[in-house]
Amino acid sequence: MRDVGPGDHAEILRVLIAAFSGADEARLVERLWAENAIELERVAMIEDEIVGYCAFSRVSVAPPAAGVVLGLAPVAVAPSRQNEGVGSALIRDCLAAVKNRAAAIVLLGHADYYPRFGFTPAGRKNVAWDMRDAGAAFQLLDFGGAFDGAPRKVSYHPAFSAL
Ligand SMILES: CC(C)(COP(=O)(O)OP(=O)(O)OC[C@H]1O[C@@H](n2cnc3c(N)ncnc32)[C@H](O)[C@@H]1OP(=O)(O)O)[C@@H](O)C(=O)NCCC(=O)NCCS
């Protein structure tokens, strides 16, 4: 795993398009790059090839949480390398790297995949996505006291609205 360099962009976009079978997430990441909205991004490497990508961008929370909250999105592994542990290793690596910079992480994703990394349904702490009720798909990893149980709404960067 390593941080992303500017020379990686074309390869990352290829991984995103292949993993999501379409260009929406690749376009999202291009917009996040253009707007300097990414707080942390890492790639998984096998030999010299980028096989996975993971990004965190800042979200806004109303009323504010106690500390910086980041959204984990997107995360993708090249189809030929899925189900080999690359995604898990990348997510664990990224969470360790981001822990110093954030009080909590939110994400929208499969409710049976992310609990293994410590995520729980955000609704349990009264934290909701501002767009719609995503149920258990909207998940939260609170590194310690960012959310106190009072009702809060989370908004992703405007680049996500175009998804
Ligand atoms: C989701 C993804 C990043 C996981 O990466 P990976 O390297 O395949 O995952 P790992 O090998 O570490 O873990 C495999 C586990 O993830 C589960 N998994 C993989 N994709 C999943 C999905 N879309 N939904 C739920 N579980 C999924 C597998 O069933 C397996 O579960 P198990 O450990 O209980 O058997 C990858 O499959 C991917 O890029 N998918 C397409 C893009 C996507 O859906 N991204 C996530 C939403 S932003």
The DSSP secondary structure of 48-77, one letter per residue, reads TEEEEEEEEEE-EEESPPSS-EEEEEEEEE
Distance between CA atoms of residues 58 and 77, nearest Å:
22
pLDDT at 78: 98
> Which sequence spans correspond to the domains of the chain?
2-162
Range 11-36 average pLDDT: 97
Distance 84 CA to ligand 1 centre (A): 9
Q: Which of 81, 82, 114 to mutate to test the pocket of ligand 1 (most atoms within 8 A of CB)?
A: 82
For range 59-79, the mean pLDDT: 97
Pairing relationship of beta strands 127-129 and 152-155 according to DSSP bridges: parallel
Query: What integer pLDDT is reported at residue 63 of this predicted model?
Result: 97
Query: Which ligand 1 atom is nearest residue 84's CA?
Result: 11
Mean residue pLDDT of the chain comes to 96
One CATH from 3.20.20.70, 3.40.50.300, 3.40.1190.20, 3.40.630.30 for 2-162: 3.40.630.30
pLDDT digits (tens, 9 = 90+) for 110-153: 999 999 999 999 999 999 999 999 999 999 999 988 999 999 99
130, 69 Cβ separation under 8 angstroms = no
Give how far the C-alpha of residue 44 lies from the chain's centroid of Cα atoms, to the nearest Å: 15
Could you tell me the CA-to-CA distances from 104 to 17, 50, 85, 141, 162 in Å, in that order?
Answer: 28, 27, 24, 6, 24
> For ligand 1, which residues put their CB under 6 angstroms from it?
19-20, 73-77, 82-88, 109-110, 112-113
- Whether the pLDDT of residue 109 is over 80: the answer is yes
Give the nearest ligand 1 atom to 82 CA: 8
In the chain, DSSP finds a helix count (H) and a strand count (E) of 3, 10
Residue 79: asked if its preceding bond is cis (omega within 30°), the reply is no
Pull the structure tokens for residue 61: 């929370």
Q: Which atom of ligand 1 is nearest to the CA of 76?
A: 39
Report which protein residue has its CA nearest ligand 1's atom 24: 110
